[in-house]
Structures are given as C-alpha cells and as structure tokens.
Amino acid sequence: MIDRRKATSEASESAGGARRSRRQAAFAWLALLMPLAGCDSLQSDVDSFFSDLSPPTPAQAAAWASDLNDPENQRRGLSLLSNAPWGGDEPYVRLYRLYVDEPTDPLVKATAVQALGRWGDSKDAAKIADFLASPASLVRLSAAKALQRLHDPAVTDRIWIRLVDENEDALVRVELAIALAQYPGDRSFQALCLALDARELVVNLAAADSLRILTGQDFGLDRRTWLAWYASTAKPFASEEVFLYPTFTRKITFLDRLAFWKSYVFETPAPPRGMDENELESTYSPEPFGNIGEGP
C-alpha cells in the first residue's frame, strides 16, 4: 500500500529542489552579467535591451509630440524627434520653436528648449536666454545647456549675471560657466573668477576650466593668481582656445553588444552654431575628442 505521506514528502522535496535549481540558475546568470554590465546599470540596460526590440516609429514619435492632451507624450515625442539624425529638418525645428513659445508643462518646455538648442540657430539664443529666469529649475538647466550650442554675444550679460547669483542652483551655474567660455571679455573673466569662490566645488571646477579655455592659462582655483595675471597682461585672450560644447558619451555595455541590430554613435564636441568662422582656429579638428562610447 502506498504511503501517501511519504509520497507527498518526496513530491514536496522534488518541487523544492526544482525551485532551488531555478534560483541557482538565475543567480548564476546574474553573477555572470554583473561584472560585465555593472550592477548599477544592469536593470536599465535590461529595460533598454527589450525596449529596443520594438522602438517607436518616426510617425509614432511625431504623433506623441503633437498630442496636446498628454504632456508626457509631448515630452517623449519631442525627445525622440530631437535625438533622431533627421531631427533638425525644418518642420521639426518649427515644432520645437512652437513649444518654446507656447505655455506648456515645465518638462515639455525643458525638452523643447533643449531640442531648439541642438537644432536651432544663433537667432534662437536670445529666446532661449529668456528661460534663464524661469521659475522651474529644470527649464533653467535646459536653457543653460542649450546656450552652449548657440553663439550670440548679445546674451553674454544674461549668462554671467545668472552665474554669479548665489541663489541659483549649482547644476545650472555649472552649465552657465561652461557656456561663458565662448565669450572672451572682461565681464566673462570677472564673473568666472567670482565663481571660483562659489560654495560648490563643481562650480569652481567648471569656472576654472572656462578660464583656461578663454586664456590658454591654467592657475587652477586660485582666484588671486588669476586676477594678478589678468591685471599684468595686455592681451589676456590672445591664446584663447576653441570652445567646443560638451556632449554625452558612455561606454558600450555587454547588453549593448547583444543588441547587434542597433548602432551606437555619440555626438562629437563641436563649436557652437553661429560662431563666426574667423573666430575658429584653422587647425580645428574634432578627432582629438573621440567618443569613448564607440567600442571596437
């Protein structure tokens, strides 16, 4: 006669063993992935990997960007359009300008400002500079980044005034300090020297780097040395370097390589749009600023 208790116990042990085997297999898979992809970015890489299997079409992105009833769809659509290789086509640039001009959700406004900074021209710089006074810090941050890509000396004062405002967010001031490196002049120099004494180290470092670009000198975070050198130099900007707006790069991960159908090409730093060719050195070439994200 069959011992039901014994059979039940054996079945339970068998099921438990199967569960343990599955857990062990899962842990082994994670243990394999973590050193290769990085623990912190593993989840985002997995999400990105599967979302890339069915990315939105250009028509879907345009439909989202035009959805006046859903700010999240607008933001998502604008972001997809502006990051596409054809995102600078005239119809899309008109769309970015429309959202910049019209009252919208702050996230949508910030995305539109960033898109216009990427694909607009120097005539858009003054309009973007208006948003340095926005009550939303995210919009101000997008405006500061956008002004790194558009060159118009008329906005210089609006940049440095916000840079020396101690009530401004540190992240915004960092981007303003970077943007100011394309405008050689006394007011730019003095504002950057003031930023060397800011409470936030990131602001200090950004200001020091911009001073180096403007002058070709490197006195680190020592404001007194910078000012003494400036007072004793007849042509402080004679050795000015070419300003290149910064771009985002990252290393290609293990899961990126698994997505063999997707090409990863990152932007290369370049001079702002609207900068006179006479202001650029004839030896300028983007090659030294190669993208670390381009794997073999």
Per-residue DSSP letters for 73-122? HHHHHHHHHHTSTTTTSHHHHHHHHHHHHS---HHHHHHHHHHHHHH--G
Q: Specify the residue for token string 């990085």.
A: 38
Please report the pLDDT score of residue 42 as a whole number.
43
Examine the domain organization and report whether 207 and 136 are in the same domain: no
Domain boundary residue, one of 150, 181, 209: 150
Residue 156 counted as domain residue: yes
Examine the domain organization and report whether 144 and 103 are in the same domain: yes
Please report the pLDDT score of residue 29 as a whole number.
38
Examine the domain organization and report whether 146 and 179 are in the same domain: no
Q: How would you classify residue 216: left for phi > 0, otherwise alpha for psi between -120 and 50, otherwise beta?
A: left
Please report the pLDDT score of residue 9 as a whole number.
52
Here the CATH number for the domain that contains residue 166 is: 1.25.10
Examine the domain organization and report whether 237 and 156 are in the same domain: yes
Examine the domain organization and report whether 233 and 252 are in the same domain: no
Residue 178 counted as domain residue: yes
Contact between 179 and 147 under an 8 Å Cβ cutoff? The reply is: yes
Examine the domain organization and report whether 139 and 209 are in the same domain: no
Please report the pLDDT score of residue 20 as a whole number.
54
Give this prediction's pTM: 0.74
Secondary structure element (H or E) that encloses residue 186, with its range: helix 186-195
Examine the domain organization and report whether 69 and 83 are in the same domain: yes
Please report the pLDDT score of residue 56 as a whole number.
78
**Count of Cβ atoms closer than 10 Å to residue 131 Cβ:** 21
Examine the domain organization and report whether 208 and 157 are in the same domain: yes
Please report the pLDDT score of residue 291 as a whole number.
31
Residue 145 counted as domain residue: yes
Please report the pLDDT score of residue 248 as a whole number.
78
Residue 14 counted as domain residue: no
Residue 3 counted as domain residue: no
Amino acid at 150: L
Give dist(CA 204, CA 196) in Å, integer: 4
- Longest Cα–Cα distance of the chain, Å, equals 107
Whole-number CA gyration radius for the chain:
26
Examine the domain organization and report whether 126 and 86 are in the same domain: yes
Give dist(CA 40, CA 267) in Å, integer: 24
**Host domain of residue 289:** 244-296
Domain total in the chain: 3
**Count of Cβ atoms closer than 10 Å to residue 59 Cβ:** 8
Q: What is the pLDDT along the chain (296 residues), one digit of tens a residue?
A: 445 555 555 545 555 555 555 545 443 433 444 444 444 444 444 444 445 556 778 888 888 888 888 999 999 999 999 988 889 999 999 999 999 998 889 999 999 999 999 999 999 999 999 999 999 999 999 999 999 999 999 999 999 999 999 999 999 999 999 999 999 999 999 999 999 999 999 999 999 999 999 999 999 999 999 999 999 999 999 999 999 999 877 777 766 666 555 666 677 888 999 987 555 553 344 443 333 333 32
Domain boundary residue, one of 150, 173, 192: 150
- Backbone phi and psi for residue 273, each to the nearest 5 degrees, phi listed first: -70, 130
Examine the domain organization and report whether 138 and 185 are in the same domain: no
Please report the pLDDT score of residue 57 as a whole number.
81
**Count of Cβ atoms closer than 10 Å to residue 36 Cβ:** 11
Examine the domain organization and report whether 132 and 70 are in the same domain: yes
Please report the pLDDT score of residue 113 as a whole number.
97
Residue 21 counted as domain residue: no
- Tokens matching residue 279: 């202001």
Please report the pLDDT score of residue 100 as a whole number.
95
Contact between 77 and 64 under an 8 Å Cβ cutoff? The reply is: yes
Residue 218 counted as domain residue: yes
Residue 188 counted as domain residue: yes
Sequence-separated (6 or more) residues with CB below 8 Å from residue 20:
none
Rounded alpha-carbon distances, angstroms, from residue 219 to 19, 174, 195, 198, 226: 63, 19, 14, 16, 6
Examine the domain organization and report whether 259 and 225 are in the same domain: no
Domain boundary residue, one of 122, 150, 178: 150
